[in-house]
Amino acid sequence: MKCLCLIAFLAFVITQSYNDLGVDAAPGDSFVSRRGVQFILNGKPFYANGFNAYWLMYEATDPTTRYKVTHALESAAGQGLTIARTWGFRDGGYRALQTNLGSYDEQTFQGLDFAIAEAKRVGIKMIIAFVNNFPDFGGKKQYVEWAKSKGQAVTSEDDFYTNALLKQAYMNHVKTVVNRVNTFTKVAYKDEPTIMAWELMNEPECRADISGKTLTAWISEMATYVKSLDSKHLLSTGSEGFYGQSTPQRMTDLNPVAANIVGSDFIANHNLDAIDFASVHSYPDTWFPKSDEKTLLDYLRKNLVGHIEDAQNVLKKPLILGEFGKPSNAPGYTQAQRDAVFTIVFDIIYASAQKGGAAAGALFWHLINEDMNNFKDAYSIALSEKSSTVNIIGQQSRKMNLVSGKGKPSR
């Protein structure tokens, strides 16, 4: 408790320092770019290990809980983690960022400001998603409800991708976020090198059109729009990586059967000029709940290797495994099972990185502090636990950081 109180005090001091002095860039701070299948930072290949912390803005909205953001990011940096993926949205509800279409809560926006400023201070890059496919924290569903309240004839959440008002509302949100001037750093988000990339949506799906054409058209249109506002940052889809009708054999070999009706197409969704890197998520325990552990691990390995091959040879772009983990509530769960998942993922990513390949990093789901029971779930990991999984995470960070900057970027 004394430690947490000290951290809270330090967070207060940091906040006051930001207000008084602004934030200096971390050593070597510059934009991450792309060349071929590699990310480039300061002229050298950038390979990374990272995490998801979707709650950063939420906890930083209240100045009295900002210490949780400080503690999490400092702990992550201490383990050599260099990318944090988080939400740039909270549509409606408690501590909303967007309280109605085009209306924003300044205190919540300052929460996101603080999270970015803290990441900048400790030298962690950020990937920020603009909206959610799911109703958690608003998402497409909230946008559709807002459109209905304005008299729009929308009946499905997937009208989000085709209704003119909803598309404009999404673009307005993007514009508001990228043009935001951080109240702590005094730097516009679009000019902030701490932000590595934007994601169009967390896990976009369009079940209204299983051909994948509607979603691909939306991604193409919105990616072009984002780039018209912000040409400095990388951009990806936020996709789970399910294959579609452009690659029927991959659908058969690598998709969970249920994924064939979500309207996603890994190749078509990412084979667009405005999309800089490929996104994939992996949750075998959710997709195959009746499978034994060996089957789950075999699928994890096959699916990740297949996506890396396609990023390398077809898309010719980097790939980030944006979410993965092992739930502690799985039948017969042991710590060794979680360790096996992390080891397989990290070994595959590292093998590609060592060769200068497309696998740029993996971001585990998800990081919390030990005192955050409100966000604790079957996937959450507190780095202070000093578990065997935490040791594996730290080892991977060191290995990926050693690979970064060695050799010449690929052509």
- Active-site residues: which are they? 203, 323
Q: Using the structure block, give the residue that is written with the tokens 């001091």.
A: 13
How does 268-294 read in b/e, with b if 16+ C-beta sit within 10 Å? bbbbbebbbbbbbbbbbbebeeeeebe
In three-state secondary structure terms, 300 is helix
Q: At what angle do helices 139-149 and 164-178 cross, to 10 degrees?
A: 120
**Tokens in use for 389?**
């999984």
Measured CA to CA, the distance from residue 102 to residue 201 in angstroms comes to 18
Measured CA to CA, the distance from residue 7 to residue 384 in angstroms comes to 14
Angle 208-228-22 from CA coordinates, rounded to 5°: 110
In three-state secondary structure terms, 38 is strand
> Which own/partner contact pairs does 162-165 have at CB distance under 8 Å and 24+ positions apart?
162/214, 162/218
